[in-house]
């Protein structure tokens, strides 16, 4: 039962994984095959409020979403995990300040902010790790959006998933920069849920993914501890390409890249050959996220004019 007419507006940041979550060992609970590690995108994310209403309503960026819409159904299904019966209806309002033109997924910050709003609305006062475990059920990557900075989502081993949640790393890296390189921002034909299920079910190559992810996670921890940007960039880029290799090896094949994605990769590799420390990562879509440090910002901007640059540590 709600403890107030409305929650406050709650914020959660978006995040980008350096070691990706790809593949579920439990499809219902969103339990991952591997642990993952991300960096949150500071002020870019979602603001969400839950209030009592006459009917269930979902609002996104000031406009009501049709009740039959996939997004609205996911949000209401998530609310149903916490309300008993249908004795009250809710209105969920979300504002994303993620530049839509950047082609960044908003489900991670969206479900994390929704979880925070639900926690307040129902007076649950859950621990951060429990909030993270619940947010995970809305969208796996949302488990990591409960925190700022570097975050690790530990896969856990329990069948009920209560040990599968994210924790923040107590290390900052103020020079780190992330560039959002937009290739195409249209809605993709195969979302990440369908994409990872297809990969797990059909790609023999997927068998090597858990080993790659475990090794990369270890290297990233070392890179962050040493503040070694070369190690961080190399590991993140190889991890993303390994994930995409498993997608390409699925059937029907899953290739999220477009010709401009490949052209951008080649520009990154060319820049690196010329001595610029620049790397990229990619999620289940055609857009690149560039990784570099503050001292390379001018040179990166010259090669990618108009790049949206984020400072994850302020
Ligand atoms: O949280 P989901 O179900 O949208 O899956 C996210 C999958 C990737 O973005 C490709 C990787 C990740 O760890 O964020």
Ligand 1 neighbourhood includes 141 CB (under 6 angstroms): yes
- Residues 112-117, mean pLDDT to the nearest whole number: 98
Instruction: Provide the percentage of residues in the chain whose pLDDT is more than 70.
Output: 98
What the block records as the tokens of 159 is 């069948």
303 alpha carbon – ligand 1 mean position (Å): 28
What is the rounded CA–CA span in Å between residue 18 and residue 210? Answer: 15
Instruction: Indicate if the pLDDT at residue 104 is higher than 80.
Output: no
Q: Which atom of ligand 1 is nearest to the CA of 243?
A: 10
The DSSP result for 72-103, as a single string, is: HHHHHHHHHTTS-TTSSEEEEEEEE-S-GGG-
258 pLDDT band, cuts 50/70/90, is very high
Q: Which helix (H) or strand (E) holds 46?
A: strand 36-53
Do the bridges between strand 31-32 and strand 24-26 make them parallel or antiparallel, or are there none, so unpaired?
antiparallel
- Residues 57-72, mean pLDDT to the nearest whole number: 93
Ligand 1 neighbourhood includes 212 CB (under 6 angstroms): no
Q: How many Cα atoms sit within 13 Å of 96 on the Cβ side? A: 20
Q: For a ligand 1 pocket test, name from 40, 140, 209 the mutation site with the most ligand atoms within 8 angstroms of its C-beta.
A: 140
The three-state secondary structure class of 154 is coil
- Model confidence over 265-314: pLDDT tens digits? 999 999 999 999 999 999 999 999 999 999 999 999 999 999 999 999 98
Q: What is the pTM of this model?
A: 0.96
**Is the complex ipTM more than 0.90?**
yes
Ligand 1 neighbourhood includes 151 CB (under 6 angstroms): no
Do the bridges between strand 89-96 and strand 57-60 make them parallel or antiparallel, or are there none, so unpaired?
parallel
Ligand 1 neighbourhood includes 172 CB (under 6 angstroms): no
5 alpha carbon – ligand 1 mean position (Å): 33
Residue 103's pLDDT is what? 66
Residue 63's pLDDT is what? 95
141 alpha carbon – ligand 1 mean position (Å): 5
186 pLDDT band, cuts 50/70/90, is confident
Q: For a ligand 1 pocket test, name from 17, 34, 195, 209 the mutation site with the most ligand atoms within 8 angstroms of its C-beta.
A: 17
List C-alpha distances in Å: 173 to 37, 147, 149, 227, 300: 15, 15, 8, 7, 19
Ligand 1 neighbourhood includes 154 CB (under 6 angstroms): no
């Amino acid at each position: 039962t709600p403890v107030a007419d409305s929650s406050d507006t709650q914020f959660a940041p978006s995040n980008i994984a350096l070691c990706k979550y790809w593949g579920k060992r439990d499809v219902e609970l969103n339990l991952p095959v591997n642990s993952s590690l991300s960096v949150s995108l500071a002020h870019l994310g979602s603001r969400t409020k839950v209030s009592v209403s006459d009917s269930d309503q979902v609002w996104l960026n000031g406009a009501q979403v049709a009740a039959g819409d996939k997004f609205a159904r996911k949000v209401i299904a998530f609310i149903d995990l916490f309300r008993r019966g249908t004795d009250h209806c809710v209105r969920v309002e979300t504002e994303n300040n993620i530049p839509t033109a950047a082609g960044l997924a908003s489900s991670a910050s969206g479900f994390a902010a929704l979880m925070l709003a639900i926690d307040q609305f129902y007076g649950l006062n859950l621990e951060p790790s429990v909030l993270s475990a619940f947010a995970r059920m809305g969208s796996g990557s949302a488990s990591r959006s409960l925190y700022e900075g570097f975050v690790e989502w530990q896969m856990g081993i329990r069948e009920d998933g209560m040990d599968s949640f994210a924790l923040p790393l107590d290390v900052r890296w103020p020079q780190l920069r992330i560039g959002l390189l937009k290739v195409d921002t249209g809605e993709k034909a195969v979302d990440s849920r369908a994409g990872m299920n297809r990969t797990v079910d059909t790609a023999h190559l997927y068998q090597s993914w858990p080993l790659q992810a475990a090794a990369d996670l270890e290297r990233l921890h070392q890179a962050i501890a040493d503040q070694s940007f070369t190690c961080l960039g190399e590991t993140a880029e190889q991890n993303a390409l390994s994930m995409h290799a498993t997608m390409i090896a699925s059937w029907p094949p899953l290739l999220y890249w477009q010709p401009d994605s490949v052209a951008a990769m080649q520009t990154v590799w060319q820049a690196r050959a010329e001595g610029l420390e620049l790397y990229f990562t990619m999620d289940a879509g055609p857009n690149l996220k560039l990784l570099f440090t503050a001292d390379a910002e001018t040179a990166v901007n010259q090669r990618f004019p108009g790049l949206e640059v984020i400072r994850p540590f302020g």
